[in-house]
Amino acid sequence: MTTMLPLLLLLLPALLLADKTPQNTHDNPWGEYAAECLVDKVPDLWDESRIEKTWYKIDLDAEEHDRWREVATEFSTRMQSAIDVAAEMANSFGGDGAWDALVGLMVGCPDKLTEPYRTEIKAMADLTGIQLEQLTLLNLFYEIAAMCTSLVAVNHEGQVFHGRNLDFGLFYLWDTEEHTDLVVQYEFIKDGKLLFKAVTFAGHLGVITAVRPGAFSVSINTRFGSSLDTMTNFFLTGLEPDQQFVVYANRDMMTNCATFEEAKDYIENIGLLRRAYFTLGSPDGGIVVTRAFNGTDHEAIINTKDPNGWYVLQTNYDWNEPDIFLDDRTNPGNHCMQKLGRKRVTKEGIFQVMSSQTTLNKATVYTTVMEIKTGALYTFKQECKDPQPAMLPLLLLLLPALLLADPSPLNTPDNPWGEYAAECLVDKVPDLWDESRIEQTWYTIDLDKEAHDRWREIATEFAPRMQAAVDVVKEMADSFGGPGAWDMLVTIMVGVPDKMTEPYRSEIKAMADMTGIQLEQLTLLNLFYEVAAMCTSLVAVNHEGQVFHGRNLDFGLFYLWDTKEKTWDLTLRLRDLLVQYEFVKDGKLLFKAVTFAGHLGILTAVRPGAFSVSINTRFGSSLDTMTNFFLTGLLPDQQFVLYANRDMMTNYVTFEDAKHYIENIGILAPGYFTMGSVDGGVIVTRAFNGTDHEAVIDPKDPNGWYVLETNYDWNEPDIFLDDRTNPGNHCMQKLGRKRVTKEGIFQVMSSKTTLNKSTVYTTVMEIKSGALYTFKQECKDPCWFPAEPVMLPLLLLLLPALLLADPSPEHTPDNPWGAYAADCLVDNGPQLWDESRIEKTWYTIDLDKEAHERWREIATKFYSQMLALRDVFKEMTDDFGGEGAFDVLVAMMTGVADKMTEPYRSEIYAMADLTGIPIEQVSLLNLFYEASGLCTSLVAVNHEGQVFHGRNLDFGLFYLWDTDLHTWDLTLRLRDLSVQLEFIKDGKLLFKAVTFAGHMGILTGVRPGAFSVSINTRFGSTIDAMTQFLLTGLEPDQQFVLYANRDMMTNCATFEEAKHYIEDIGLLKSAYFTMGSVDGGVIVTRGLNSTDHEAIINTKDPNGWYVLETNYDWNEADIYLDDRTKPGNHCMQKLGRKRVTKEGIFQVMTSKTTLNKSTIYTTVMEIKTGALYTFKQVCKDPCWFV
């Protein structure tokens, strides 16, 4: 059953593979990614040796072929490489064939260009051999995609300097190095005289950055805005009179205009195919011209009479709008220029500013500094060292809300959130309380009536809207989990209503019957409300003793973004389902409530003269309780949170009785119950089976006159992206006890970020009178949204695995993982070593035989298992990447086998021939293993000097969950493909290994009496190395990790030789090599081209008798959801050096979480004897998944 999440692929590389993550604080929310001005902070960065020295002459009097011959000859290979990467990007975004479609659009385009560009582009294509349409597309591609910073500044001596950072490549799936290799400096000459100098990209005929000595300088920055109309017209009819491409217009200006005034006049008036910012410098000043398609929208001019007017600076945002929050380069740039000051405006000073983050960032290709009067132009290729984002991956998550909001935030160091910041409306705007906005409709729920009659009015009126909500949740589930995810969840609901208590069992069936909505879908919707509400609740007492209860119900975050309404689609749907109920019994009012039509529980309610309540979600896994419910139903004294709330409202008359009930009832999800009484209030922080904390109103305390709860515990802060507690408390303090009224509380609840994009409604209740006022809320732009479920996509990914697991015991603060916690079996169970479980079958790989004969037995015996694995991989790939994704990957493998070294080239051909599996598919599966193994490896030495090597091979995580067997489908398939091999040469055993049938490399092996090895994945991008391999093959002294391992096992006779080889060989993927010798061991942490660290056994150290590696560097912790290092070390310490035997090591390797759902096998090796024991492993429920 597919439960995959495309968003995971988006977030994983940046989240898991980053070298560092920011340390966020309220004063520095960006942590290490924050803007950093290097003025006065580091020595001068100006370095003459870094300045680009090469200049190419472009003689405008020469024929076009001769004009560009030198550039074409030198850069043609790199230009083709850039085109190939652009094609990969286009096909990745737009699907297979997208690049070809774009190229097809370019047919005839060169003939629509003006001279000299028409002739030049044809000459460049002719000289380089690059298809004319591809070269045309690359020229247009540069037209629209540059993100830059430009500035012009005048010092006290009147010298004018122009600084420019060219940022390019953001979101285009390759790094800026592709463009750095194409950076060229030109000297354009005519009649034997220099016209201007420029820096641009080889193959591009326009000009991006340039200076005309003694006259003017220019740099172009992209201005956001659609060019669809102008580009369409160009494709259909060509250029209009007095119309030009931006970068060609720039070159025309540099060629034809002799003075700053002429240049400025030209650039103000020429028709453009794209909007842009032109930053122009003159010998005595400068200007930023903000251009539309057919006119100038604004000009910012240097005015040295103004104390701050000695410079102009432009990024990619208009003069009257701020940068968006996640791309603030203007404020840091201005801050750094002010810090530099006019006195220090020199080429060195400007470079210092341009090299400061975030002006410098991951997308920066080069910095250029120009001096207009002299015409000097200095170019530095730039590289922004970590930590510095090329835009955080979170941007892609937030993009719909951020880019579609009007307007965007104004960020400052004191207010990093800009217009998205918290804003308390107390004393800031008139009273927002508006009687006309209060919901007037009340529905009576008569508890004395039969279930159908009780809910008939609601079912009749709201059925279409309930179905709409179901449809939105279905769309969301299928978007996150793949087609069929919703149907799978609905299937899980079969029989669930019968496990509910009365009256909910009868009521949900009645509601399904009356609305026509499938019973299981309605059940799922009820459980959905149970776990997903993000809210703010408060209770406050004024000086007169009146108690008011305020509540914002936030729901719908990340459940599909509505681009028209600029909010979450589910939030909109739920607003339409909002209902107010009066529950009556024996003809008398019991309580009032506000909730959603179709849901039978209670979120917010008041019992007049007695108490009020609102529920907020508390983060925490409900895996155990929900699993038990699905398997066996509710336990005695156990209830769903929202049904428990209704039971409390129905059955208890006093605040004390209600509080006692809610403190003690067993619940299926943790929660915060905010309760008001006629004279006070409390927040009850509930766990599953007890109360963890209570915050009680104490009017004797100057600050104790209210309590406030969002979704975080009393002893922990809100996460950075979802701080509602601090703004809420600040606003309550500003309101003060004197002004606690229904109107005052509503003013607080309508203040951002308490009010946000996912807020459905605000309710204010007065306990003594029983008044309940509900306002549907809408947070107008600019408005933030709470971001606590940053892990929500991951939750949906794991849900099937988590909910379908067998029951496990209760989580506690000391053991938050419950039965999924690490569990060391040393001294905690019987000895698990079992000779009967050891794999007995060995296959001989004779390296003296021809490739077909060498692998014939494996190919024959494992053919069907290899096909099954291929099919699982195809299904997973197509689920992630869309139908046809697997075929795209296979197509990319064309010719890959020929790029491999021997013997792997011949062996892959032989395996494909023997099995009938296409060679491209065999190649793909071999590369697939290269990148994906999650493992634990260790080497330990006992007091007798015996060395044992333990290894768990974990593989298959996130590759389709098998709902029947409760494990990863790929893990199952690979278990069937595990093979033990004895490699021999000249009739003698070289080494033993365990790997997967069909793969030619080695994961785990031992060379008797010499050394052992196991490889663990090290997180890190392989895009550069793999792209280079696909384009040009392996470099000298470079190898795939698993093939390098086999080469080492084959060719190195001693541990020292093997270690030396593995320390130095170039790799296509970083990795951890755990190696054992006859008297010790080492973990070699490998980068692509060198060794980053070694951890060596040192038996003189009391704790140095072993080394252990999972998938994390020596200086970093395991991520929270995958902590195997600490449990492994704990278990090794518990085992102790005295008990290091093959049996003892196996006991450790079989302990959770070293053993987990993705574990395929455990191998234990003894180096001196060369013994290798393999056990296929299955982690029985309850067992963690990673």
Q: Residue 544: is it exposed, middle or buried by C-beta count within 10 angstroms (0-12/13-18/19+)? A: exposed
Which pLDDT tens digit goes with each residue over 1022-1045? Answer: 666 777 787 788 999 999 999 999
Residue from 37, 257, 424, 935 carrying the catalytic annotation: 935
Residue 805 has pLDDT above 50, yes or no: no
Residue 1063 has pLDDT above 50, yes or no: yes
According to DSSP, the residues that pair with 940 across neighbouring strands are 948, 1106
Token reading at 320: 């009257």
992: part of which helix (H) or strand (E)?
strand 988-996
Residue 8 has pLDDT above 50, yes or no: no
**Domains of the chain (ranges plus CATH)?**
50-383+390-404 (3.60.60.10), 435-732+740-791 (3.60.60.10), 825-832+839-846+933-1176 (3.60.60.10)
| Mean pLDDT across the chain | 83
Token reading at 1178: 């299955």
Rounded Cα distance, 368 and 366, in Å: 7
Decide the pairing of beta strands 988-996 and 1038-1039: unpaired
Which pLDDT tens digit goes with each residue over 687-700? Answer: 989 999 999 999 99
CA atoms within 13 A on the CB side of 215: 21
Q: What percent of the chain has pLDDT over 70?
A: 81
Which pLDDT tens digit goes with each residue over 1006-1019? Answer: 999 999 999 998 87
Query: Among this protein's residues, is 109 annotated catalytic?
Result: no
The C-alpha angle 716, 721, 725, rounded to 5 degrees, equals 45
Q: What is the mean pLDDT of residues 155-165?
A: 96
> What pLDDT score was predicted for residue 956?
61
Beta strands in 273-351 (DSSP E): 276-281, 286-291, 296-301, 311-314
What does pTM read for this prediction? 0.45
> Which one has a higher pLDDT value, 316 or 178?
316
Beta strands in 507-620 (DSSP E): 534-541, 547-554, 561-562, 567-568, 578-585, 588-596, 604-607, 611-617
Which pLDDT tens digit goes with each residue over 851-909? Answer: 999 999 999 998 888 888 788 778 767 655 556 777 877 888 888 899 999 999 999 99
CA atoms within 13 A on the CB side of 509: 14
Tokens 């007065």 map to which residue? 766
Could you report how far apart the first and last alpha carbons of the chain are, in Å? 18
> What pLDDT score was predicted for residue 558?
43
**Contacts of residue 6, Cβ cutoff 8 Å, sequence gap at least 6:** 880
Q: What are phi and psi of 261, to 5 degrees?
A: -65, -45
Residue 618 has pLDDT above 90, yes or no: no
Which pLDDT tens digit goes with each residue over 912-946? Answer: 999 999 999 999 888 876 655 668 999 999 999 99
> What pLDDT score was predicted for residue 871?
82
**Contacts of residue 747, Cβ cutoff 8 Å, sequence gap at least 6:** 425, 426, 431, 432, 433, 735
Tokens 């060195």 map to which residue? 348
Instruction: Note the helical H segments in 773-850.
Output: 792-803
Which pLDDT tens digit goes with each residue over 416-471? Answer: 444 556 788 898 878 899 999 999 999 999 999 999 999 999 999 999 988 987 88
> Which one has a higher pLDDT value, 147 or 752?
752
The length of the chain is 1186
Which pLDDT tens digit goes with each residue over 48-76? Answer: 999 999 999 999 999 999 999 999 999 99
> What pLDDT score was predicted for residue 358?
85
Rounded Cα distance, 18 and 1019, in Å: 8
Q: Which of 503, 493, 383 is nearest to 454 (CA)?
A: 503
Residue 195 has pLDDT above 70, yes or no: yes
CA atoms within 13 A on the CB side of 1138: 2
Rounded Cα distance, 31 and 205, in Å: 41
Q: Is the dihedral of CA 320, 326, 331, 333 positive or negative?
A: negative
> What pLDDT score was predicted for residue 560?
46
Q: What is the mean pLDDT of residues 368-376?
A: 97
Query: Is residue 2 very low, low, confident or very high in pLDDT (cuts 50, 70, 90)?
Result: very low
Instruction: Note the helical H segments in 216-287.
Output: 228-237, 246-256, 260-269
Query: Is residue 554 very low, low, confident or very high in pLDDT (cuts 50, 70, 90)?
Result: confident
Residue 625 has pLDDT above 90, yes or no: no
Evaluate whether 224 touches 316 at the Cβ level (below 8 Å): yes
Q: What is the DSSP string of 362-385?
A: TTEEEEEEEETTTTEEEEEE---P
Maximum pairwise Cα distance, the chain: 104
Query: Is residue 1160 very low, low, confident or very high in pLDDT (cuts 50, 70, 90)?
Result: confident
Decide the pairing of beta strands 578-585 and 671-677: unpaired
Average the pLDDT over each of 253-267, 373-387, 451-465, 910-924 and give the range with the smallest value.
373-387
Q: Which of 158, 51, 53 is nearest to 372 (CA)?
A: 158
Q: Which of 809, 829, 830, 812 is nearest to 820 (CA)?
A: 809
Q: What is the mean pLDDT of residues 89-94?
A: 60
> What pLDDT score was predicted for residue 181?
79
Please give the torsion angle defined by the CA atoms of residues 299, 305, 307 and 309, in that order, rounded to the nearest 10 degrees.
20
Which pLDDT tens digit goes with each residue over 571-597? Answer: 666 778 889 999 999 999 999 999 888
Which pLDDT tens digit goes with each residue over 301-311? Answer: 999 999 999 99
Which pLDDT tens digit goes with each residue over 642-668? Answer: 999 999 999 999 999 999 999 999 998
